Amino acid sequence: MRVLIVEDHRDLAESLARGLRRHAMDVELAHDGEQGLTRAASGAYDVVVLDRGLPLVHGDDICRALVEQGCPSRVLMLTASGALADRVEGLALGADDLAKPFAWAGLLARTRALGRRAHPVRQPELVCGPLRLDPARRTASHAGTQLPLTAKEFGVLEYLLGARGRTVATDELLAKVWDEVADPGTTTVKATVNRLRTKLVDRSVIQTVPGEGYRI
């Protein structure tokens, strides 16, 4: 697994790199946002561990640029605090998040989980009436209209379509689209589904099943 760590605190960056390398990961470092964006945009990494408060280019701007460029790398955003506003901003951009200070085991678990999702097995196009999603090309459309989806919105839509009408619990979406160590008490699934609905031609395509979850 190839990992890029973008962190301006050099001692922390070196410490994380040593730890990941002990687990057979190929790790490279960047110490400011400008260098981090250049390297990450190459798409050569399975996971980008990205500090949010970077000099030269902010972590949010890097994440936003990677999404717009269709970069296949998974992003783990390191936030300086556990403030809800910081977490929501990163999640809205399609990143997974981890608040500082964090436990080493937590960072390792999340990096491994994201690495497993970096190169998913190619699947056939998923179709439900006028709603179409191509996992290989990472494109989705509804009634012929292309949908500008973030990575998390795409993941939620893909998983719901793959369930073929089955009701999917919020906890299941959180585990499959985010990762197994995501906070089960978070409202990020609900927020992501609401944003996804606003981009569909018909919002009612995604139904809420009270007390159970969501289905298409």
Give the single-character DSSP code of 202.
Answer: S
Element containing residue 79 per DSSP (H, E): strand 74-79
Answer whether 36's CB lies under 8 Å from 73's CB.
no
In angstroms, the CA 215 to CA 212 distance is: 10
- C-beta of residue 29 within 8 angstroms of C-beta of residue 54: no
The tens digit of pLDDT for each residue in 29-53 reads: 999 999 999 999 888 888 999 998 8
What pTM, to 2 d.p., does this model score? 0.55
Write the DSSP string, 149-172: --HHHHHHHHHHHHTTT--B-HHH
Nearest to 76 by CA among 35, 20, 23: 20
pLDDT in tens, 47-73: 999 998 899 999 888 988 888 887 888
**Of 12, 3, 11, the residue nearest 36 (C-alpha):** 3
> Phi and psi dihedrals of 56, rounded to 5?
75, -55
Angle, to 10 degrees, between the axis of helix 10-21 and the axis of helix 104-117? 60
Per-residue burial over 32-54, b = 16 or more CB atoms within 10 Å of its CB, e = otherwise = ebeebbebbeeeebbbbbbbbbb
pLDDT more than 70, % of the chain: 87
pLDDT of 121 higher than 70:
no
Helices 188-199, 151-162: crossing angle, 10 deg rounding:
90
CB contact at 8 A, 65 and 41: yes
CA distance 131 to 145: 9
pLDDT in tens, 89-110: 555 556 777 777 788 888 899 8
Nearest C-alpha neighbor of 92 from the set 51, 60, 46: 60
Give residues with Cβ within 8 angstroms of 210, minimum separation 6.
Answer: none
Residues 6+ apart with CB under 8 A from 138: 70, 154
All domains of the chain in start order, with CATH: 2-117 (3.40.50.2300), 126-215 (1.10.10.10)
